[in-house]
Structure 1
């Protein structure tokens, strides 16, 4: 029986590398910055251009009306991001825009593909590292064609945890985030890190560099590709309250195992985040 989704998967790898080259080239030029929801929620012409290139290439390859798209700079701007049963590409063209603007070398192209509301594959290209992470459901996770797995650490005291501060500058939200960071540090853990890109953070979990990554306020396009990669590398994906992961909830915990995840979850102070699907 033919593998229906192999061709889209291979094409996602190809187009992610093309997008990465465009981003690296753009970083050598003057970067013009605009803002979206607030002064620290940034967007550049490169974000918009790269998303148009990715979506345009997919439409040219597979047909204009055969697939749906959820993209940070296009579909999301039109209202809630609704995931249907149709084949759907979930795209973050420049994950880590603030990094891109400041020359901080962690910027990723994130491309995921879902059918019947289930994620089938994810591709994350870390542009400046020139590392490509990829995974298909049931077929394992890879970095540059080398199989990757989560770490085997179960002792929280020997772990490294990743999280981010996000773009919400509401004083109550920032207070809750800082309180969570403090509580986790005092477990104690070996350290807390953050690359500034959710997609790359999830790949760090998948390849065993860190034991957990959680965040409240991220979007579906930030984590969709990484979700497949983490799970196929042997990790777990949960809500920050320990319940099932919901792609549209804007809340996510990924970890190497349930033991580490549950211990970190105990320290997370949860605050509201409006769902991507508007429900």
Structure 2
């Protein structure tokens, strides 16, 4: 029996690599000559350009109208987030835009593919590192062509944990975020880290470099591809309260095993965020 999604998977890898080349070129040729006041425009233009390349290539490859798309830039322009049973691409064209502006070497293209609301595969191209992470449901996870797996550490004191402080600078949320980080650091763990891109963070869990990554306030396009990669590398993905993972909830804990996950979950101070599938407010 023919593999139903192999062509889509192979195409996603090609498109992610091509998109990454566009990002690298923009970083090398344009950021150096930008003033502080114009870097936001550059990020927006690069985001839009890369998303158009990805979606345009996918429509050309598989036929316009046959697949659905959820993209960060499309949603930012007011399109609702609706995940149906149809084949759906979930795209973050430039994950790590602040890193991109500063030349901090972690910027990723994230492409996931879902059918019947189930994630089938994920591709994360860390374009400045030139590392291609990829995974298909039931077929393992890889960095380039080498299979990867999560670490076997179960002692929380020997673990490295990743989290991010997000973009919301309200005092209430920042206080909870840093209180959580303080409690985790004082368990104590070996260290706390953050690459500045959720997609890359999840790949670091999958490859065994760190034991866990959690965040409240991320979006489905940040983590959809990473969810498949972590699971296929032998890890698990949960809600930050320990319950089942919900792609739309904007709350996620990924870890190498449940022992590490549950210990970290005890320390997380949860705060409310609006779901990705919340109704779009009409202006």
Sort the TM-score into its range (normalised by shorter chain): over 0.9
The 5-angstrom pairing of residues 155-166 of structure 1 reads 155-166=155-166
Contact 1:153 1:211 in 2 (8 A): yes
- The within-5 A match list for 1:183-202 is 183-202=183-202
SS at 1:132 equivalent = strand
Relative to 1, partners in 2 of residues 1:25 and 1:43: Cα closer, same or farther, differing over 3 Å? Answer: closer
Show CA shifts across 1:39-86 (max 9, x none).
Answer: xxx942111100000000000000000000000001453243111100
Which runs of structure 2 are paired with 1:1-279 in the superposition (5 Å)? 1-31=1-31, 32-34=38-40, 43-278=43-278
| Secondary structure of residue in 2 paired with 1:168 | coil
- Whole-angstrom CA distance in 2 between matches of 1:230 and 1:145: 16
TM-score computed with the length of structure 1 as normaliser: 0.96
CA distance in 2, matches of 1:187, 1:162: 15
Whether contact under 8 Å (1:33, 1:45) holds in the other structure is no
Q: Is the 8 A contact 1:132 1:144 kept in 2?
A: yes
Where do 4+ consecutive residues of structure 1 move more than 4 Å?
Answer: none
Structure (1/2) with the larger helix percentage: 2
Higher alpha-carbon deviation: 24-33 or 128-137 = 24-33
| Uncovered stretches (5+) of structure 2, i.e. residues with no partner | 32-37
Give the Cα–Cα distance (whole angstroms) in 1 for the partners of residues 166 and 251 of structure 2: 12
Question: Would you say the 8 A contact 2:43–2:101 is kept in 1?
Answer: no
Task: Quote the offset at 1:120 in angstroms.
Answer: 0.1
How large is the Cα RMSD of the aligned pairs?
Answer: 1.1
Gapped regions of structure 1 (runs ≥ 5): 36-41
Q: Is the 8 A contact 1:44 1:97 kept in 2?
A: no
Aligned length: 273
* CA contact 2:219–2:250 (8 Å) conserved in 1: yes
Structure 2 Cα separation of the partners of residues 77 and 124 of structure 1: 24
Structure 1 pair 250–240 and aligned structure 2 pair: CA distance change class (3 A): same
* Contact 2:238–2:254 (CA under 8 A) maintained in structure 1: yes
Task: Report the 3-state secondary structure (helix = DSSP H, G, I; strand = E; otherwise coil) of the residue aligned with 1:70.
Answer: strand
Corresponding position of 1:39: none
